Chain A
């Protein structure tokens, strides 16, 4: 095999892995408070990238801004808009369903995802078409040995990993993280400890949706193109990555994300019809689940009799 080719495949796989991991971490976070698959996650991600696009276009209309400033402002805008959206969703759709079976929350987020997707399609001008995403990262290449890596690629990999790492620290080491985990396990007792249940749920939604926006922007920056219906599939992959890694574990989400990217890349290389790569990846996933029924970093069993 051609080695420069291998390098390229590795870099492709890495970026893909980081993007998947970012989505997966979002799933893990929501699983933490809701104990449910939040199917609208992918669509929030997509909406986040559109928000950044709008901000960026608006800025370039205003005048000449340095690209880094444009990037920062668009990113902040997208994150804050999505965080607000997440809070509203939690307030009006998730909290009222607290007493109902968790699957009902799943349905409501599913429908919400559909609503977000359709809203972008209908209300963004020509929303059903793919939109070019501004190139806000430097595109020169660095040469390391035989390997050639573009700066934007490197920034996305490092930035994505950093975001996940910071989130991980926040969840593991802070009182906020402890509160989130407590609320997930027993909302009533958590309230008895003085935890503001509502605030934690809203906060987690804000955090998760903000993270989705970040992932959406990373996605746009890497592919230079965004489209309204990207969310569902990316969401499904993110969910798969989170579960394969072991729900509730942020490290698991990262491992899951990279595993999925790895499987797809391998699949694309092996099969003469690359479309089989998804079939291949999902077959492997099913086999992994049969082998490790609670994910690679399996959730520790705290159930006792």
Chain B
């Protein structure tokens, strides 16, 4: 009886946390008044510390492991409710979709950098490959879903041009290879006019079984369809990334990252795993790039500069390297925060950079530190349960 009471309290706490978080996030997205924004941020920080004081993050973790349905209830349903609530808020939806797309790309980077230890400073370039592929192909008569897949595929293929140097180099040396690629990719697009040159390309709207994504869906916003598509894409990529982590594949990738000598002494084909992670990661980034291009309706080389690659890397680091879950709040922070700082106009980047520095000084490991691998939900608990 007592135990059940405790569970009830825990559930109520989690429900409350999730409700408050949802309300705050939605309010943060919609509200434009500076004072209100400040109040929301203040409330959020306050709420975070209260929750931490009550040990709620830990409880959530525990409950989620034991009862995944609670997880879906407290994460998925607020998202759906929030979207339904925001269905007329074009801009909020646009931002949600952008966050989801960036998070997807960063999941690709997590696979490369977080799991396998491959530094990829050319994230934006692969985003661009996906985008340009989509831009060129959408205007042909190819089914649009296929086009986005082809965008991912193309990113993976272009990425394989770099495989030889990426395989041979490590650490900063590998960073240089990708930095070089990022720089030359953008410059090449800009100089060479075959792909629209500096002006870029326009992209016809995304069509899915006769559903035009640029038309309002069910009388709501133009961007609702994109939000749904982006969230679905993120979900699928997230699940795949997570499943990879919690399987023999993830274990192999970790082994490659942590000690190549040991890995080779235990029969692990380092090159093969690196190729897998690099290619699959680029594929995910390419998919994200494809959808992003579709949503924007126009892409140009200046979207895919080295600075943009750094933004992607920043998200991965800020989220906590190797933790796919951290990528989502980190994208939210890095993508939405500068936008919310529009009211301070030319000072916004200064403040933004200072804020990120502060976050890092207070959370040196990133927002969510990567934990030990658990292969399945009850991992590490079985023994206790049995006893």
**Physical contact A–B (CB less than 8 Å):** yes
List A residues at the B interface (Cβ < 8 Å): 31, 37, 39, 92-93, 96-97, 99-101, 103-104, 106-108, 110-112, 114-115, 118-119, 122, 232, 236, 239-240, 243-244, 247, 273, 275-276, 278-279, 282-283, 285-287, 289-290, 293-295, 303, 305
16 pairs across A/B with beta carbons < 8 Å? A39-B310, A92-B361, A101-B365, A106-B313, A108-B360, A114-B352, A118-B347, A118-B353, A122-B347, A236-B306, A278-B183, A285-B177, A286-B177, A289-B177, A290-B177, A294-B169
* Cβ of B271 to closest chain A Cβ, rounded Å: 13
- The answer to whether A111 touches B357, judged by C-beta atoms less than 8 angstroms apart, is yes
Chain A contact residues: helix, strand, loop or mixed = helix
Contact A303–B321 (Cβ < 8 Å) = no
B180 near A285 with CB under 8 A, answer yes
Which of A107, A114, A275 has the most chain B CB atoms closer than 10 A to its own CB? A107
**Chain B residues whose C-beta falls within 8 Å of the C-beta of A240 in the assembled complex:** 176, 179-180
Nearest residue (CB) in B for A115 is: B353
Q: Are A289 and B169 in contact, CB atoms less than 8 angstroms apart?
A: yes
Please encode chain B, from 350 to 387, with 1 for each CB lying within 8 Å of some chain A CB and 0 for all others.
Answer: 10111011001100111000000000000000000000
Q: Which residues of A contact B313 (CB under 8 A)?
A: 103, 106-107
A232 touches B307 (CB 8 A): yes
Contact A107–B173 (Cβ < 8 Å): no
A290 touches B350 (CB 8 A): no
Q: Which B residues are within 8 Å of any A CB, using their own CB?
A: 113, 162, 164-165, 168-170, 172-173, 175-177, 179-181, 183-184, 187-188, 190-191, 261, 306-307, 310, 313-314, 317-318, 321, 346-347, 349-350, 352-354, 356-357, 360-361, 364-366
Q: A15 → chain B, closest Cβ, in Å? A: 22
Chain A nearest CB from B307 CB (Å) reads: 7
A103 and B317 in contact (CB under 8 A), knowing A122-B350, A236-B179?
A: yes
| Other-chain residue from A100, A104, A232, A243 in contact with B172 (beta carbon distance below 8 A) | A243
User: Is there an interface contact between A107 and B356, defined as CB atoms closer than 8 Å?
Assistant: yes
Distance in angstroms from B197 CB to nearest chain A CB is 11
Residue of B nearest to A96 (CB): B361
Nearest B residue to A248 via CB reads B172
Of all chain B residues, the one with the shortest Cβ separation from A288 is B165
Collect the chain B residues with CB atoms within 8 Å of residue A108's CB.
357, 360-361
Contact call A100/B365, Cβ cutoff below 8 A: yes
Within the complex, the shortest CB–CB distance from A48 to chain B, in Å, comes to: 19
The 4 lowest CB-CB distance pairs between A and B, nearest first, are A100-B364, A290-B165, A282-B180, A293-B168
The answer to whether A275 and B307 touch across the interface, beta carbons within 8 angstroms, is: no
Residue of B nearest to A277 (CB): B187
